[in-house]
Amino acid sequence: MIIVMKENATDEQKERVKKRLTELGFDIHQSTGVLKTIFGAVGQVTGWLVEEMQALEGIDQAFRVSDPFKLAGRSFHPDPTVIRVGKAEVGGNRVVVMAGPCSVEDREGMRRIARSAAAGGATVLRGGAFKPRSSPYAFQGLGKEGLEILAAVAAESGLATVSEVMDTRDVDLVCRYVDVLQIGARNMQNTPLLKEVGRTAKPVLLKRGLSATIEEWIMAAEYVMSEGNYQVMMCERGIRTYETSTRNTLDISAIPIVHEKTHLPVVADPSHAVGRRDKVIVMARAAVAAGADALLVEIHHNPEVAVSDGPQTLFLEQFAQMMAEIRPVARAIGRDA
């Protein structure tokens, strides 16, 4: 149920509403705007309850939410959410770029990549320390050492950091080193992990599952938000279809649909979506044109010897080209990059 308070509602009236909802066993989530306060009440809602709440002083509207997602929906939070990540604001007017290798490999290589990322206009450095690979024999990441390298070289270049967390037992560790917690596609419906990152104060980059519908993806965000963390960024990274020309199929239409259904920022990952270096820049342009709030791309000083995802990783010179090509696209739709 959504309860919209009147513009002139007093603090006493708001507290009375919250007290009544608590008595009825609801979980209460508050969204305070410039003019109005909105309460999202999660629990069993009956028709008579809506009428009862509508009669309380200070309430402008009370209504049931038809969508299964309550906190991510625009009924609860009409205005777009803007999430601060280091010096950047994801969901603001500028298209934020997060760039780096699939996996952290060594300090000097990461330092070279970080400098190029910052020089090209990226504000967030990505790099995996824990890697969920398709094969148990593939490189699984450097773990804590990888996180230490990522944090150190990012600080040298003035970049924020994003890295994946795979296990509830690692959440505290990863939180100590990164600015954004990434939930990978394979863990999108790992509800214990979603709840655990929902209890942190870190922004969460939630990747869409390989075969997840948009509603399932949003419901995964709802799990995070239900624990009190509303800083969720939705990452479209391609879904599995019958097409074999690319690694996955980048669902460009998901970008405006998620913007319509939720107030959360949308990030596009063209690298994992297409799995082909020669198509990443094209799809990056398309994602920006469709309204993506940020891009997540893989770059490396020598992708041909990268320990993971080399075929989809841009050379540093190609990253500079991508940045040059997305800027006019962003300007064409009234944004900066």
Residue 133: the pLDDT is 62
pLDDT, tens only, 184-230: 999 999 999 999 999 999 999 999 999 999 999 999 999 999 999 99
Residue 134: the pLDDT is 65
Cβ-count burial 189-227 (b if 16+ within 10 Å, e if not)? bbeebbebbbebebbbbbbbbeebebeebbbbbbbbbbe
Nearest partner of 319 among 288, 284, 276, 268, judged by Cα: 284
Amino acid identity at 278? D
d(CA 247, CA 265): 25
Strand partners, 118: none
What domains can be seen in the chain, in order of their start residue? 2-63 (3.30.70.1140), 83-332 (3.20.20.70)
d(CA 288, CA 275): 18
pLDDT, tens only, 129-139: 987 666 675 66
d(CA 92, CA 105): 32
Nearest partner of 248 among 257, 258, 238, judged by Cα: 238
Q: Which residues have a Cβ under 8 Å from the Cβ of 309 and sit 6 or more positions away?
A: 102, 103, 271, 272, 298
Q: H or E segment at 29? A: strand 27-32
Strand partners, 30: 39
Let me know: does 204 contact 183? Beta carbons within 8 Å.
yes
Residue 141: the pLDDT is 78
Tokens of 61: 């509207």
d(CA 164, CA 169): 13
Residue 139: the pLDDT is 66
- Look at the chain and count its residues: 337
All residue ranges of the chain with pLDDT < 70 are 47, 132-135, 137-140
